[in-house]
Structure formats: C-alpha cells, structure tokens
Amino acid sequence: MKYITDFTVVGREAWGETYFSLTLQHPQTLPPVAAGQFAEVEVQDCREVTLRRPISIHDVDTVRNTLSLLVQIVGKGTRKLATLREGDKLNLVYPLGRGFALRGERPLLVGGGAGVAPLLHLAKCYCARGIRPTILLGGRSADLIPARERFAPYGTLLYTTDDGSLGERGLVTQHSHFDDGYDHICTCGPTPMMRAVARHALQQGISCELSLENMMACGIGACLCCVVKSDDGHRCVCKEGPVFDATGLSQWINQ
C-alpha cells in the first residue's frame, strides 16, 4: 500500500554545506517501511522542478510517528528541500520500491556518499532481529561521511577516507576488515563503489544486495525511465528495486 500525504518538519540537522537531514512527523500511525524503500518527495514552490525527487527512508520512529530523510544537495530540487524549516509541510508518496531482504547472520553494510542514507534503517532492522551488523562507511574525507554518529548504537562502525582524515586511508574495498568472513553484504552509494563491492561478493560466493539510485520520474513503474539492464532483461528500478540481488546484475556489475 502506498500513501500520498503531508508530513510536518519537526527537525533539521546539517553536515557541512552538502548534507542535511529532515525529521518528518505524521499525525497518524506510520505504515510498515522496509529498509531500502524510498519516498517520492514533492518539491514545493519551485517552478523549475516539476517531478518529485526519490529519497531513501533514512530512519523510522514508530513511537513518535516520524520518518527521517538524509539528503545531499546536488541540484535545484535538493537545494530547495534544504530551505525547509521546522513547521513546514512536505508531501511524500511512500513507501515505494522493494527493500533489503535482511539476510545473513554476519552482515556487512557498505555505504558511500548519500548512499549511507538507507543503511541506518537497515542497521536498526538487523538489530531488531538480534544481529549487530558491521557498517563500513566511505568518503573522500571525514566531513563527507554524513550522519555517521547515528550509526554507532547499531553495529560495529568502520570508516575509510581518501585523505585518511577518518578511519583507514583508501577505498572501502581496501579496508583491513572488508573481507572478514561476512555471510551477506548490502551496499548503497556511488556506482563504481557498488560495482567493486558486488564484484568481490560474487567472486567470493557471498550473497550481496545493491540499492541502485538510477534517475527516476514517476517512481511507480509507469514511465520506464529508470530501467537497468539485468542479466535477464530490463528491470524497473523504482518498482522491482531499488534493491537488487547481485546475482541477477552480474553484467551490470562487471561493466
């Protein structure tokens, strides 16, 4: 079931000039939201932006009836969303897409850039099952790994940065604990990072899920602008994803 409804902004936090998060409250009980599902967010009062923008559900609080979004400012729509303040309304269509399957007893979650967003709700869902995941977050520098303090209660937290300003210097796939006997890997972030992580998983025979962030328009499977070429034909990322199993995407991963 999908909902189209107004939320009220009840919290806002920023990380540098690039990232911010919004906490959104609804007067009614929230529906179940699977980790990895997303919302199509309306950008109000912005003539240049007519289409909604897809943003992952970063966090869910079923006691306060709040959802959080973690957003990277990249263009007109996200810049406009960054101007929202407490008390403002925001219209969402949610929960959309297919989320993570919560597989594995010893999962590794790997995120980079805005791709860290869905991993917080994912880590909390694993913890609710009694499993503390390892969470590996990467960025060019420490200030480009947003919201990292929020992850600490929900897993073993590891970092890599290109400049060595946080955690180990290098790429996530070069971390000394990257290959530590995990039985499932979930990844979201820049395409080259996800490809490298998934390639490793396929080579090692570890099950792996990737959350793709293809450009979207309708978000509900009607316009086909978001398709990805899978091993057995084209798949609609907004409806059949955004989370896909690596085994069906081996051609895309090995491009």
Question: One symbol per residue from 188 to 227: x for binding ligand FES (CB under 6 A), - otherwise; what is it?
Answer: ----------------------------xxxx-xxxxxx-
Beta pairing class for 66-72 and 59-61: antiparallel
Q: Residue 139 or residue 242: which is nearer to ligand FAD going by CB?
A: 242
Interaction between residue 189 and ligand FAD (CB under 6 A): no
CA trace torsion 145, 141, 193, 217 (10° rounding): 50
Nearest to 172 by CA among 152, 150, 201: 201
* SS3 category, 105: coil
Separation between Cα atoms, residue 139 and residue 116, nearest integer Å: 10
* 230 interacts with ligand FAD by CB under 6 A: no
**Distance of closest approach, residue 90 Cβ to ligand FAD, in angstroms:** 14
Applying CB under 6 A, among 75, 153, 164, 192 the residue interacting with ligand FAD is 75
Cβ-based neighbour number of residue 4 at 10 Å: 11
Strand partners, 136: 110, 158
Q: Per rule CB under 6 A, is residue 236 in the interface with ligand FES?
A: yes
CB of 23 to ligand FAD, least distance (A): 14
CA distance 120 to 75: 24
Residue pair 188/211 in contact (Cβ under 8 Å)? The answer is yes
Q: Give whichever of 14 and 222 is closer to ligand FES, judged by the CB atom.
A: 222
Please, which residue, 201 or 210, has the CB nearer to ligand FES? 210
127 binds ligand FES (CB under 6 A): no
**161 binds ligand FAD per the rule CB under 6 A:** no
Instruction: State whether residue 155 is helix, strand or coil.
Output: coil
# chain residues binding ligand FES, by CB under 6 A: 12
# of chain residues touching ligand FAD (CB under 6 A): 21
Query: Based on the number of CB atoms within 10 Å of its own CB, is 2 exposed (0-12), middle (13-18) or buried (19 or more)?
Result: middle
Q: What is the DSSP string of 133-144?
A: -EEEEEESSGGG
Window 32-71: residues binding ligand FAD (CB under 6 A): 38, 49, 53-56, 70-71
The yes or no reply on residue 152 touching ligand FES (CB under 6 A) is no
Question: What is the C-alpha separation between 77 and 227, in angstroms, rounded?
Answer: 22
Residue 78 interface partner, choices ligand FES, ligand FAD, none, CB cut-off 5-8 Å depending on type: ligand FAD
Residue 142 as a binder of ligand FES (CB under 6 A): the answer is no
Q: Does 2 bind ligand FES (CB under 6 A)?
A: no
Q: Which residues bind ligand FES (CB under 6 A)?
A: 216-219, 221-226, 236, 238
Q: Which residues bind ligand FAD (CB under 6 A)?
A: 38, 49, 53-56, 70-72, 74-78, 114, 117, 213-216, 242
